[in-house]
Amino acid sequence: MSKINLLELTSDRVVAALRSGELTAAVFGLGAVGLAVAAVWLRAGARVIGVDVDVGKVEKISSGEVPHPEGVVVETIREAVRSGRFRALTSGEVAVGESNISIVVVPVLYTSTTPDFRALDSAIATIGKNMERGHAVVVETSLPPLTIESRVKPMLEKYSGLTADVDFALIYSPERVLVGRAVEDVETRYPKVVSGIGPRSLALAEALYGSIARAGVVRASSPRVAEFAKLAEGVYRDVNIALANELARLARVLGVDFTEVIEIANTQPYSHIHRPGAGVGGHCIPVYPKFLSWVGRLRGVGLELVEHARLINELQPLDIVRLLLSLLSGRPTSRGRVAVLGLAYRGNVAISTNSPTYRIVEELLHLGFSVVVHDPLVREDRQLSSLGADLVSGIAEAVEGCDAVVVATDHDVYRELTPCDLSKLSKTRGLVIVDGRDVLKLGACCDTTYVGVGRGVKCLGDGRDV
């Protein structure tokens, strides 16, 4: 591998080096996003070294077992492993030493009061200690504003003895992907946001990502703008979902189908009301508001709307439980059995991080119900097991003998079910159904009581629509 100085190349030469396989990228963090990023760079022509602290994961990937829901990611990395264009290592030192570009996709989590930068700091320290002049460092992790300028840049310069934008490039280009279609998002769906610590870094970022993202690149004037913009995207969704959840509560009391309200309101071009649900999960949306609130507190700026919206969404699983209790009013709960359909935080992915299902299950168990959880994609889950709930892969197995069903995830398999289907599977008279995602197909309700989080009560046990 040729150790070229990326800051000295013209844009055309950068693109040629990428497409010809002359460039090697070290990708730090082989989670769902990191593996997708690795696949994108492989498809662009680069050689890739993946770095992760999880020895078991590295061994699996090295043997061709790629833990990812996207077929294009799995096949791209498997083929690259076979051809020698991809290696997975636990040694970041080796990876940086053999690469031209280091791409950081490790998570920054949030504790009860502050961001947890430990994984980021570890990756940056490793890169700084082992990179040479002409290296490029790209951070794709979502970050609180000013992290690149006040944390990453000083660390890299301290450990390397080099100067950013003079001796090495420092680029911030936040990932904007939805796991399940991440490669498509990067390559065709969205423009890539790019920023640099200086003009040379920005020019390199434009050259690299301009050849990867067919939708083009969007230049941010500084890393802090790009950091803020990425968080703002997620906070917008969190606040909008909180608005939908709150309005849906009023709609149910008024006997109004809120899904119809949304359809009508959103015909106005300035209205983009989201849909209510069982809660908000995943690595991103529950965390981004906390990043911004943390930065705001440090600088004496309160984000009351952002924080209140986050609270509404954090409490939404309890609203689902309250709906269930209102329908079960008068029935004993100490021996009641509830099937919760869906553990994943989002439909059609096998990721349960911050899933609202955990809160629903925890509350139901606290109230004295026995709980079984079904998910077609998540096969085992330590957090759920620690709560004392069973996880099964068969819908019939989950629902049989239950007094109630809660739909918590919008998996496609649930969209094919009707309340009548669940009633027959349960073999229970007067089954109660709370559809926390408004996904069940409605029709004759048989002997069920159904309520959708946005639809309201649609049918009672006697089959009447209300």
10 Å CB burial of residue 348 (0-12, 13-18, 19+) is middle
CA angle 318, 323, 325 (to 5 degrees): 90
DSSP letters along 47-113, please?
Answer: EEEEE-S-HHHHHHHHTT----S-HHHHHHHHHHHHHTSEEEES-HHHHHHT-SEEEE----EE-SS
| Collapsed DSSP state (helix, strand, coil) of residue 170 | strand
Among candidates 377, 417, 408, which has minimal Cα distance to 393? Answer: 377
Which residues partner with 115 through β-bridges?
110
Alpha-carbon distance 114 to 322, whole Å?
31
C-alpha 81/C-alpha 59 separation (Å) is 12
For residue 93, CA distances in Å to 18, 125, 171, 291 come to: 22, 10, 20, 30
Q: Show the DSSP H helices in 214-303 as ranges.
A: 223-254, 258-265, 288-298
| Closest to 435 measured CA to CA, from 221, 190, 224, 258 | 258
DSSP string computed for 415-449: HT--HHHHHHHHT-TTEEEEETTS-SPPS---SEE
> What is the tally of helices (H) and strands (E) in the chain?
19, 17
Residues with Cβ within 8 Å of residue 153, at least 6 apart in sequence: 164, 170, 197
Q: How far apart, in whole angstroms, are the C-alpha atoms of residue 260 and residue 393?
A: 33
- List C-alpha distances in Å: 149 to 152, 222, 375: 6, 9, 42
Beta bridge partners of 109: 116
Characterise 21 by phi-psi region: left (phi > 0), alpha (psi -120 to 50), beta (else). Answer: left
Angle, in degrees to the nearest 10, between helices 223-254 and 288-298:
120
H runs (alpha helix) in 255-355: 258-265, 288-298, 304-327
Can you read off the two tokens belonging to residue 276? Answer: 């209510």
Placement of tokens 């309340």 in the chain = 419
Active site residues: 230, 284
